[in-house]
Each structure stands twice: as C-alpha cells, then as structure tokens.
Chain A
Amino acid sequence: MSFLGGSSSSSASSGDVKTAVVQQLQQEAAMTNARALIQKINENCFTACVPTPGTSMSSQENTCLSSCMEKYIAMWNITSRTYINRIGVESKRMGGDASLVASMGSGL
C-alpha cells in the first residue's frame, strides 16, 4: 500500500513518481498564484472602476475593468522584477547565495 493510496500493482518507477510529484506541485503552485492574482485584481479594479455600484455594469465600467486588469498585470511584472533584483542584491550583500533567486527572474 502506498502512502497516498495508489494501487501497488502499478509499475511506476521511482523516477516516474518523482516526475509526477514535481508536476503536481508545479500545477498547484501555478493555481495558487493565479488565484491570488485574480483576487487582487478583483479587489483593486472593483475599487477603481465601480465607485458606485448600479443595477448593472455600464459599458464604461466594463472598459475600465479590462484596462485595469491589463494594467495591474503590467505592474505585477514590474513589482516582481524589481523585488527579485533587490533580494538578489541584498542576499549577495549579506554573503548569501543569490543564484536561485537570480534564476527566478525569468521564471515567475
């Protein structure tokens, strides 16, 4: 019997299991990240675009929302780039290994 209840008759090798764990981990991480982004966009763009909620969304509000969304993501990329650069600089300054952080610059 395996830890997570997989059938013991399967012929998965250690490498197969490792690959599956990594894939699932990365999928879940991507989902968590996307969910957080969507929630923040919802909060901030609702505030910016729907100051006084009416009985339905106006076309102006809808236009504002799609602009806001793209703008928020553009800013997210700047924030990410700047933050990753900075923690790279700080950890180098403190004598740490910044290679992992540096390698994330493109991967986020």
Chain B
Amino acid sequence: MDPQTQLELSKLNDADKKELNQILANEAQKSNIQQMVHQLNDVCWKKCVTGRITSKTLDRNEEACAANCVDRWMDTQMGILKHLENMRGH
C-alpha cells in the first residue's frame, strides 16, 4: 500500500465510526448481491444462450428467457425453503 493511502483509523471519532459501519454494511450487502448476480447470470447464460453467437445483442427469446430464468430460480429457492419448513413441522 502506498503511504498516502494508509489509513489512520485511530483518528476516527465516534460519529464517523458509526457512519462508516453503516456504509460498510451496505457495501457488504451490495457485494453479496453482485456475487449472486454473477452466479445467476452464469446459470442462466448456459440455459438461455444455446445457439451459435452471431450477434452482440440478446434476441427477444434470450431476453425473455434471462428474466424468466432469474424469477424461476427465485421461485425454486422460495419453494425449497417452504418445503424445508414443512418438513420440520412433521
């Protein structure tokens, strides 16, 4: 790390510490979401873009497939959670 970017965290006052904690929590959530999008896009690309690639843009079918893929993936996740909850009840 170059000396100018070294951070003197001991200089933070309580208000700034608190604010920084909030910003950190938000950034962490954003980062989790981005990772999820990478994973989802990988899955959905494999399902939706199966033909030879001839264009820089998604065609109508691929576009619809991409959005459906994400929504059905979420449905699957919700379904699994619901089913697990039912199993626990028995």
Contact = CB atoms under 8 A, between A and B. Distances in A.
A25 B35 CA distance: 16
A12 B11 contact: yes
B8 A15 contact: no
A78 B63 contact: yes
A77 B36 CA distance: 13
A57 interface: no
A92 interface: no
A82 B7 contact: no
Interface of B: 1, 3, 5-13, 16, 19-20, 23-24, 26-27, 29-31, 33-38, 40-42, 44-46, 48-49, 52-58, 62-63, 66-67, 69-71, 74, 78
Interface residues of A, number: 55
Contacts of B13: 14
A18 B16 contact: yes
B33 A84 contact: yes
* Chain A residues touching B, majority SS: helix
A21 B27 CA distance: 12
Nearest to B6: A6
B55 A20 contact: no
Nearest to B31: A29
Contacts of B20: 18, 21-22
A21 B56 contact: no
Contacts of B49: 48, 71, 75
Given A70-B57, A71-B58, A79 B9 contact: no
B7 A6 contact: yes
A67 B53 CA distance: 7
